[in-house]
Amino acid sequence: MSIHEHLSQFHGLPVRWPEDGSDPAAFAWRVSGEPYEDEPSITEAFETFFKTVDASRVRAIVVGTWGWAHNDDRADVPVRLLAEAAPRLPALEAIFLGDYVSEESEISWIGQDDVTPLLTAYPRLRRLDVRGGDGLALAPVTHESLETLRFESGGLPASVVRAVGESSLPRLEHLELWLGEDNYGGDSGPGDWAGILAGHGLPALRHLGLQDSERQDEVAAAVAAAPIVARLESLDLSMGTLSDAGAEALLSGQPLTHLKRLNLRHNYLSEEMAARLRAALPGVEVDLSDRQEDEEDGWRYIEVSE
C-alpha cells in the first residue's frame, strides 16, 4: 500500500467512484471532496454517494480528501458523516479514512480527529485504516468484530498507541502502527507500547507492525521480551532506523524461529549483522532489503515522516 498513489484495491475489492448500475457489494466505494477548492465538499460527495449507490449493500468505503489538509478545520466532518450514516450502511465491513496522496498533502499534514465514533457506530466493522496523525485521537474501546487495524502516520500520538493497548479487540489479527518521529507528533515510548506488547486485549493477534520509528532500536528491544511475540506469525519492524543494536536485542531475546515472516526492510544494519540474522532464523522469511547508510553527520531517517 503506497502513500503516493490513491488506493486501487481495498478490503479485497477494487476501488471505484460512485456510479449507477454497479453491484454495491463488489467494490470499495471512494467518497472524496476536492483537495484544493471548497466544492465539491466532502459533505456533497457523501450526498452524491448515497444518491448513486445502494448503501444497504456497501461493504467498504474509502474516504479521500476533505479539503486543504494542513490548513483545514473540517477534519471532524468525515468521521461525523460516517457515524451518522451507520443505519444506512448495515453491511459496511471496512473503512479507509484519509486517502490523501503526497501531492495533495504530506502525510503529517493530514488533519484527523477522534476516530472512536467509527468503532462505536459500526460494531460489525472488520477493518479500519487511518492515514494521518495530526489531531488524531482514540479512546480505549471494546469491539467484537475488528480484525484489522492500521494507522499510517509520520508521527502517531502516544495517546493513540496507549488506547490500542488498553482496548479489548478479541478478533483482531492484524495490527499495524507507523510510529513516526517526535517532530511530527510521534511521541510514544516503551511505556506506551507496553499494553500492546503484553497482549491482554489482543488474544487473536497474528501480525504486529511497530514500524517507521526513529526509536526502532528501542522498539526492537521492547519486542524482544514481549509476551505477545510468542503467538505471532509475522512481525514487522520495517521503515525505521533499526541498527545493529536493535538487531542484537532481537537475537538476544526470546526465540523468533516460530515466525513465518520478519520484516526489517529499510534498516541501518551492517552486512555482518544481516548475515547473523539470516543464519539465526533459517526457516523465517526475513526481509533485510533497502539498507540505508548513515548521513555524514550520523543522522538516520525513517521512511515516512513529513
- 204-240 tens-digit pLDDT: 999 999 999 999 999 999 999 999 999 999 999 999 9
For residues 86 and 221, state if they share a domain: no
Sequence-distant (≥ 6) Cβ neighbours of residue 226 within 8 angstroms:
197, 198, 199, 254
For residues 268 and 190, state if they share a domain: yes
**Domain boundary residue among 71, 106, 130?**
130
In percent, the amount of the chain with pLDDT more than 70 equals 96
36-40, 103-107, 112-116, 140-144: which range is least confident on average? 36-40
Per residue in 121-168, pLDDT (tens digit) is 999 999 999 999 999 999 999 999 999 999 999 999 999 999 999 999
CATH number at residue 181: 3.80.10.10
Rounded-to-integer distance, Cα 192 and Cα 175, Å? 15
Mean pLDDT estimate for the chain: 94
For residues 144 and 293, state if they share a domain: yes
For residues 211 and 234, state if they share a domain: yes
Predicted TM-score (pTM) of this structure: 0.96
Of the two residues 38 and 101, the one the predictor is more confident about is: 101
pLDDT-derived band at 69, boundaries 50, 70, 90: low
For residues 164 and 287, state if they share a domain: yes
For residues 259 and 285, state if they share a domain: yes
Strand partners, 104: none
pLDDT the model gives residue 1: 59
Alpha helices in the chain (DSSP H): 42-52, 77-84, 116-121, 158-166, 190-198, 216-224, 244-252, 271-280
- What is 182-201 written as a DSSP string? GGGT----HHHHHHHHH-TT
For residues 195 and 99, state if they share a domain: no
Sequence-distant (≥ 6) Cβ neighbours of residue 66 within 8 angstroms:
32, 33, 41, 42, 72, 74, 75, 77, 78
Range of the domain at 93: 1-130
For residues 115 and 235, state if they share a domain: no
Cell numbers for 80, please give them: 461525523
For residues 184 and 95, state if they share a domain: no
- Backbone φ and ψ of 128, nearest 5°: -135, 120
